[in-house]
């Protein structure tokens, strides 16, 4: 692979300016203009004072650039929970470096990530973006990513500050949280990131916390973030997450995004006249924006830079390493894994050939390429058999890769018009070739399309490889109809149903079925009108991000029972089976929470049947959050592979065949049933509020407190080798806690172990979890190698809880136990230390 569409290398830096001096020269109107974006991704420039416009880009697992539709391809990293599963801080710094380099290629100055919210429930629609249920692991991961990004002089925008932990009514919901839980669980990851990496930007969350939207919450933005933590930087809103003029500016929200403004402009002028906003406060907000713009000059990225890609072998190698290190071996009965390359193998399942490389929403992007599990396994074996087994899609698989344009290219032709189809001989104003038939037109622009209302056609041809019924699907934000050889197969215009597509403003996927013959070419045409023609009225949590959307899918109609029978017959003919199952970005996406934890469709039936047919069955799960596993006792081996990015298939194959020894550990607990989760009774908005009723007992803290075991505990992960931990010692000098132990590789191959250090207070004055993760280290050891490792912690961070009476952290005089092991339920080493005097403290 070589460089593709790589923009010119930027200079080492652009000329900086003095923000204070510029501030003194700005007019009031210019100041006001700097406090909101000018479009979806850019800030306002002040040319006369040489203040450039800067560019933001999503994040968090890649850098999309300015275009959802027809953008430059990008590197797609594993999802947030996968990154958390590496437990490898130096590796995550490298991941941050890569994100910084990708941002430079896209001409972006600020990366909208990492996401540092807490997946308090497996059902959270964006939980896959976050690192962990544990605030310490999440905080260290966040700090590593931020550090890596900012080493490249790209500014990281940590998000979503704070408690943006569900999608249901996310802009309206009031998160009701005790001060202890807020501090010890939800704010702590951000606090650690401020302490260890000083992110340049904070993005506020959509929701309220205890009655006030965070984007206008002085207690959180002014008193905690800037006051107590002493953080300096720009605070920006999430997109359309500003809800006021005066309150937001006075609380400390510097920049409203996106533009053009809804809440600033003349409203600030009026507020200055009425003295609801002071000149001093206005200057404070403007100065933070100027400081941010000035800081980004170090990147060397010019304003409005060309957007390109940097698809190089070094990127692929790093992505493959990260993805492989994230994979968690949950179960390996009878040592079925690693698979033997000399033995016959069948790859079965709906995820085998359909790539599940990232979650949906603002985390999604157009990847350089995607390696499926089937593609990854193929080069490792002489022959490979395949069966789909069943379907598991929520929406029909995107049809683009199976279509051809009129000149034979893979994909479709998109044509834009200023006239409706009723105008004869109309001519397109724009023609675009694209393979991606999930077209979110939020940032689509053409100079001749000057009105919100425009029309489009999407054309391609489809040639099936076997006879049968084929189902086609069309979802739109706007209105549309799908034709096959001139016959209208789908009408998604006359009557429309809300379906949560396109960030919850689009329709359901309407479908139509037609019998097609193998080898015959059929012309597919979609006629579309832009978003303003939508007949949908109101939707849960709607944020209308743009001008329209078109999603075209399709697949051959199958008989599920017949396909399962074929898979079983195939499994009986081979020595090893890899079952590739799970979810995809239609199931886990921004804008909508999951309804349950179960696998879709006939997946469980398929697993049961194949496992009965072949005892050497390995289940590979691709999902960002836990799924129910009613077959857990029946299959030999289970691998949690997450959404692994561009290299997901290669990484899976590397682990399955032992080219990489699995070393991932669960960053969140996997319950047996969704009802076991501590947030089960308190998830989702009810009359505009959600009670965080589990308090500080999130994840493993709850399972241990209630003695209700998780199916797979937090921190769990097996290896192809074995490790021995011994000789635990702890020294506390009052300020620092040094944990030291010996780690030995006692097995037959090299590998890495994650040593996890938990702390428990013996006689606390309040109820506390039985133990809490406070530090960890991932250590690689060769066969027979041993090493003394050290984990250094600040004593106050290792021992404190939030004292609600004093509104301060408290480290009580007491005896504290240190429990060390390789999961939350396997902490075989134990010792203790003393805190001799009670200490109250605040800050970072």
What's the chain's average pLDDT? Answer: 95
Residue in the structure block whose two tokens are 């009655």: 211
Structure tokens at 419: 């006239």
DSSP 3-state percent helix, strand, coil across the chain (nearest 5): 25, 25, 45
| Residue 675 CB partners (closer than 8 Å, separation 6+) | none
Mean pLDDT to the nearest integer, 442-469:
94
Whole-angstrom distance, CA of residue 110 vs CA of residue 762: 45
Strand order in the sheet with 549-556: 438-440, 549-556, 468-477, 510-516
pLDDT of residue 9: 53
Higher pLDDT residue, 221 or 545?
Answer: 221
**Comma-separated ranges of CATH 2.60.120.260 domains in the chain:** 394-556
- Which listed residue (238, 375, 604, 654) is catalytic? 238
Is the pLDDT at 727 greater than 90, yes or no? yes
pLDDT greater than 80 at residue 800 = yes
pTM for the whole thing?
0.95
| Residue 13 pLDDT | 59
Least Cα distance to 635 among 614, 656, 654 occurs for: 614
pLDDT (average), residues 180-187: 98
| CATH number assigned to the domain with residue range 723-841, chosen from the 4 options 2.60.40.10, 1.10.10.60, 3.40.50.2300, 3.30.56.10 | 2.60.40.10
According to the model, what pLDDT value does residue 53 have? 97
Q: Which residues contact 593 (CB under 8 A, 6 or more apart)?
A: 123, 124, 125, 166, 167, 168, 683, 684
The predicted pLDDT at position 14 comes to 76
Q: Are strands 430-434 and 689-691 parallel, antiparallel or unpaired?
A: unpaired
Tokens 């912690």 label which residue? Answer: 793
User: 296 with 608: CB under 8 angstroms?
Assistant: no
Please name the residue that has the structure tokens 């009476």: 805
Question: How many H helices and E strands in the chain?
Answer: 19, 36
- Model confidence band, residue 10 (pLDDT cutoffs 50, 70, 90): low
- The pLDDT tens digits of the residues spanning 189-226 come to 999 999 999 999 999 999 999 999 999 999 999 999 99
b/e per residue, 359-395, with b = 16+ CB within 10 A? bbbbbbbbbbebbbbbbbbbebbeebebbbbbbbbbb
Say if CB 794 and CB 825 are below 8 A apart.
Answer: no
- pLDDT, average across residues 499-510: 90
Residue 538: predicted pLDDT: 57
pLDDT of 12 > 60? The answer is no
> Residue 540: what pLDDT?
46
pLDDT score for 3: 44
Tokens of 475: 């979802």
Query: Has residue 24 got a pLDDT over 90?
Result: yes
Rg (CA), the chain: 27
Percent of the chain with pLDDT over 90: 93
- Output the CATH code of domain 394-556: 2.60.120.260
Mean local confidence (pLDDT), 651-659: 98
Closest to 649 measured CA to CA, from 440, 364, 384: 384
Angle at 586 between CA 580 and CA 588, to 5 degrees: 85
Token output for 577: 């089976």
- pLDDT exceeds 80 at position 11: no
Q: Is residue 238 among the annotated active site residues? A: yes
> pLDDT for 268-286, tens place per residue?
999 999 999 999 999 999 9
The pLDDT of residue 506 is above 70 = yes
- What contacts 24+ positions apart, CB below 8 Å, involve 361-364? 361/125, 361/126, 361/503, 361/585, 361/589, 361/590, 361/591, 362/58, 362/59, 362/112, 362/590, 363/58, 363/59, 363/60, 363/61, 363/62, 363/79, 363/115, 363/126, 363/128, 363/129, 363/590, 364/64, 364/585
Q: Residue 355 above 90 pLDDT?
A: no
The pLDDT of residue 97 is above 50: yes
Which part of the chain is CATH 2.60.40.10? 723-841
Q: What's the average model confidence in pLDDT over 679-690? A: 96
Residue 574 contacts residue 617 (beta carbons within 8 Å): no
Report which of 580, 569, 524 is spatially closest to residue 391, judged by C-alpha positions.
Answer: 580
Q: How many CB atoms lie within 10 A of CB 821?
A: 18
Q: Could you tell me how far CA 253 lies from the centroid of its own chain?
A: 24
pLDDT digits (tens, 9 = 90+) for 28-75: 999 999 999 999 999 999 999 999 999 999 989 999 999 989 889 999
Burial class (CB in 10 A: 0-12, 13-18, 19+), 762: exposed
- Is residue 1's pLDDT more than 60? no
């Amino acid at each position: 692979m070589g460089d593709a569409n790589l923009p010119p290398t930027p200079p080492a830096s652009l000329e900086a300016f003095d923000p204070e001096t510029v501030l003194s020269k700005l007019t009031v109107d210019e100041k006001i203009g700097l406090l909101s974006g000018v479009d979806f991704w850019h800030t306002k420039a002040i040319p006369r004072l040489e203040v450039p416009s800067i560019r933001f880009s999503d994040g968090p697992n890649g850098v999309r650039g300015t275009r959802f539709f027809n953008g430059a391809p990008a590197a797609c990293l594993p999802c947030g929970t996968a990154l958390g599963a590496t437990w490898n801080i130096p590796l995550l710094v490298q991941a941050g470096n890569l994100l910084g380099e990708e941002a430079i290629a896209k001409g972006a100055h600020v990366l909208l990530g990492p996401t540092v919210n807490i997946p308090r429930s497996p059902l959270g629609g964006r939980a896959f973006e976050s690192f962990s249920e544990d605030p310490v692991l999440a905080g260290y991961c966040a700090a590593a990513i931020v550090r890596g990004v900012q080493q490249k002089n790209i500014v990281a925008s940590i998000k979503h500050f704070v408690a943006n932990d569900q999608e249901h009514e996310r802009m309206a919901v009031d998160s009701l949280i005790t001060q202890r839980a807020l501090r010890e669980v939800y704010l702590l990851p951000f606090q650690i990131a401020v302490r260890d990496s000083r992110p340049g930007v904070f993005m506020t969350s959509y929701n309220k916390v205890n009655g006030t939207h965070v984007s206008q919450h002085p207690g959180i933005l002014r008193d905690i973030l800037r006051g107590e933590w002493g953080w300096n930087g720009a605070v920006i809103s999430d997109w359309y997450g500003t809800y006021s003029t005066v309150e937001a500016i006075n609380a400390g929200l510097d920049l409203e995004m996106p533009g053009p403004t809804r809440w600033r402009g003349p409203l600030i002028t009026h507020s200055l006249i009425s003295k609801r906003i002071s000149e001093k406060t206005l200057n404070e907000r403007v100065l933070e924006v100027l400081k941010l713009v000035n800081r980004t000059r170090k990147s060397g990225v010019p304003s409005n830079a060309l957007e390109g890609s940097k698809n190089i072998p070094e990127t692929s190698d790093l992505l493959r390493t990260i993805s492989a290190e994230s994979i968690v071996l949950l179960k390996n009965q009878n040592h079925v894994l690693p698979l033997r390359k000399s033995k016959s193998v069948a790859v079965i399942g709906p995820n085998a050939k359909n790539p599940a490389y990232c979650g949906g929403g603002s985390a999604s992007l157009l990847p350089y390429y995607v390696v499926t599990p089937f593609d990854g396994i193929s080069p490792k074996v002489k022959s490979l058999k395949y069966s789909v087994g069943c379907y598991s899609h929520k929406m029909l698989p995107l049809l683009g890769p199976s279509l051809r344009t009129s000149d034979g290219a893979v994909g479709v032709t998109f044509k834009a018009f200023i006239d409706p189809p009723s105008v004869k001989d109309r001519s397109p104003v724009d023609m675009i070739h694209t393979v991606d038939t999930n077209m979110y037109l939020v940032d689509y622009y053409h100079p001749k399309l000057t009105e919100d209302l425009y029309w489009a056609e999407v054309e391609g041809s489809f040639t099936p490889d076997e006879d049968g019924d084929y189902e086609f699907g069309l979802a739109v934000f706007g209105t549309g109809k799908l034709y096959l050889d001139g016959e209208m197969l789908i009408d998604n215009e006359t009557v429309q149903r809300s379906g949560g597509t396109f960030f919850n403003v689009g329709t359901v996927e309407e479908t139509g079925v037609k019998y097609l013959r193998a080898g015959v070419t059929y012309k597919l045409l979609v006629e579309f009108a832009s978003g303003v023609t939508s007949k949908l009225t109101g939707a849960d949590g709607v944020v209308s991000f743009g001008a329209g959307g078109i999603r075209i899918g399709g697949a051959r109609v199958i008989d599920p029972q017949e396909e399962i029978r074929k898979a079983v017959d195939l499994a009986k003919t081979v020595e090893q089976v890899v079952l590739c199952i799970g979810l995809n970005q239609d199931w886990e996406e921004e804008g909508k929470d999951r309804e349950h934890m179960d696998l879709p469709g006939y997946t469980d039936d398929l697993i049961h049947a194949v496992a009965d047919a072949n005892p050497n069955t390995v289940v590979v799960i691709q999902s960002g959050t836990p799924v129910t596993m009613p077959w857990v006792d029946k299959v030999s081996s289970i691998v949690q592979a997450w959404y692994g990015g561009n290299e997901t298939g290669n990484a899976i194959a590397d682990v399955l065949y032992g080219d990489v020894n699995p070393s991932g550990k669960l960053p969140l607990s996997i319950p047996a049933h969704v009802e076991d989760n501590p947030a089960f009774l308190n998830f989702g908005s009810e009359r505009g509020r959600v009670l965080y009723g589990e308090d500080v007992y999130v994840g493993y803290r709850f399972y241990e407190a209630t003695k209700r075991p998780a199916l797979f505990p937090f921190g769990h992960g097996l290896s192809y080798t074995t490790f021995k931990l011994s000789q635990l010692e702890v020294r506390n000098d009052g300020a620092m806690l040094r944990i030291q132990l010996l780690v030995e590789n006692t097995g037959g191959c090299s590998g890495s172990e994650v040593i996890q250090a938990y702390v428990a207070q013996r006689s606390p004055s309040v109820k506390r979890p039985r133990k809490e993760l406070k530090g960890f280290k991932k250590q690689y050891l060769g066969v027979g190698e041993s090493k003394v490792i050290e984990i250094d912690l600040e004593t106050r961070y290792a021992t404190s809880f939030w004292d609600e009476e004093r509104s301060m952290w408290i480290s009580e005089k007491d005896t504290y136990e240190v429990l060390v092991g390789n999961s939350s339920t396997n902490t075989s080493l134990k010792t203790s230390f003393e805190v001799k005097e009670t200490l109250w403290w605040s800050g970072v």
